[in-house]
Amino acid sequence: MDGMIKKIEDMSLNAWPSHKMELYDGWILRFSNFYTHRTNSVEQFAPSVLPWREKIPYCEQEYRRLGTPAVFKISPLVSPDFDYMLENRGYEIQHTTDVCTLDLQAIDLPEDPGGAVYADRISDEWIESLFRLKKMTNPVHRVIVPSMYRSIPRETISACIRSEGQIIATGLGILDRDYIGIYAIHVKEEFRRQGLARRICRGLLSQGLRRGARNAYLQVVHDNKGAQELYHSLGFRTQYTYWFRVQQINGSFSSPD
């Protein structure tokens, strides 16, 4: 089980690069002006030598220097004692997330579910449409996030559905080893509950299978019931859960993720 978790955690790091990164004694500090928790947090990826009581204050100082609270990702690969230590320092749990997987060879996928357009590159129009669908107006994020998408080192498949020439739904598949990761599923509010997200997901899974993927994974916030129902109806099953411990500054600090 730990081997599978480590593999997916590595692939998710590849899939979503941060604006800036720092390696520190087996930890990776990710900075993205607090665009999302995933891209603005500390992840443990290798054995450490230095004691936690020395490393945690260092990380807090680095994030404070860049104007955000310190955030630590807690996966099943992280010691429960570390999570407990953060709790004792006043860190709050945010964005509990389920990681789900699917065996692509065990389900029936259409050659082309129809309606969606796929591309091998992430276009400026796709990114701008994603901003619009997410109602993202932060000027700093609008500058740095496009470079994050363009920094993805793996093969990507962008997907979109249009209505009257405008993109109303998006999705992104990222191929890594024998998996396709499903990301950026968003649908314009007035077009929801019409099966567009399902169509994009099935299309990306089909595209991934054609390109050599044998499995799929995705990450979904635990209390997002609509997304949970969709992904489970497609055959995804939860494999493990992670959450973020967020340093409290002036009582509270939450991100737009």
Q: According to the model, what pLDDT value does residue 112 have?
A: 66
- Domain ranges, residue 6: 2-96+242-246
- Percent of the chain at pLDDT exceeding 70: 95
Same domain, 87 and 74: yes
Reported as a single tens digit per residue, the pLDDT across 105-152 is 988 887 666 679 999 999 999 999 999 999 998 998 999 999 999 999
Closest among 124, 82, 95 to 34, alpha carbons compared: 95
pLDDT at residue 255 is higher than 80: no
255 lies in some domain? no
Q: According to the model, what pLDDT value does residue 107 have?
A: 87
Question: Mean per-residue pLDDT for 237-253?
Answer: 85
Given a contact cutoff of 8 angstroms between Cβ atoms, the answer to whether 216 and 182 are in contact is yes
Bridge partners, 23 (sequence order): 28
122 lies in some domain? yes
Reported as a single tens digit per residue, the pLDDT across 47-69 is 999 999 999 999 999 999 998 99
| Banded model confidence at residue 155, pLDDT cuts 50, 70, 90 | very high
| Banded model confidence at residue 252, pLDDT cuts 50, 70, 90 | very low
Same domain, 38 and 116: no
Q: According to the model, what pLDDT value does residue 251 have?
A: 47
Same domain, 144 and 70: no
> Is the sign of the CA dihedral 242, 12, 26, 53 positive or negative?
negative
Same domain, 84 and 132: no
| Banded model confidence at residue 6, pLDDT cuts 50, 70, 90 | very high
Reported as a single tens digit per residue, the pLDDT across 163-203 is 999 999 999 999 999 999 999 999 999 999 999 999 999 99
Distance CA(158)–CA(172), nearest Å, equals 5
Q: What is the 3-state secondary structure (H, E, C) of 157-204?
A: EEEEEEECCEEEEEEEEEEECCEEEEEEEEECHHHCCCCHHHHHHHHH
Question: Residues 224, 186, 190, CA angle at the centre, nearest 5°?
Answer: 95
> Is the sign of the CA dihedral 156, 157, 161, 166 positive or negative?
positive
Same domain, 114 and 35: no
Strand order of the β-sheet with 20-24 is: 20-24, 27-31, 42-44, 71-74, 237-246, 92-103, 215-221, 179-187, 166-176, 155-163, 117-119
Helices 196-210 + 225-233 axis angle, to 10? 50
Residue 194: phi and psi, rounded to 5, are -120, 10
Same domain, 19 and 91: yes
Kindly report the CATH number assigned to the domain that includes residue 181.
3.40.630.30
Pairing of strands 215-221, 179-187: parallel
Question: Mean per-residue pLDDT for 14-20?
Answer: 92
- The DSSP code sequence of 212-245 is T--EEEEEEETT-HHHHHHHHHTT-EEEEEEEEE
Average model confidence (pLDDT) across the chain? 93
pLDDT at residue 91 is higher than 80: yes
Domain count of the fold of the chain: 2
Same domain, 140 and 222: yes
Residue 192 Cα to chain centre, angstroms:
21
Same domain, 231 and 105: yes
Same domain, 122 and 78: no
Same domain, 55 and 160: no
47 lies in some domain? yes
Q: According to the model, what pLDDT value does residue 254 have?
A: 43
Residue 85: phi and psi, rounded to 5, are -60, -45
pLDDT at residue 257 is higher than 50: no
- The DSSP code sequence of 69-112 is --EEEE-TTS-HHHHHHHHHTTPEEEEEEEEEEEEGGGS---S-
Length of the chain (residues): 257
Same domain, 110 and 21: no
Same domain, 92 and 172: no
Q: According to the model, what pLDDT value does residue 151 have?
A: 93
Q: According to the model, what pLDDT value does residue 249 have?
A: 77
Out of 25-29, 139-143, 145-149, 253-257, which region has the weakest mean confidence (pLDDT)?
253-257
Closest among 221, 179, 254 to 10, alpha carbons compared: 179
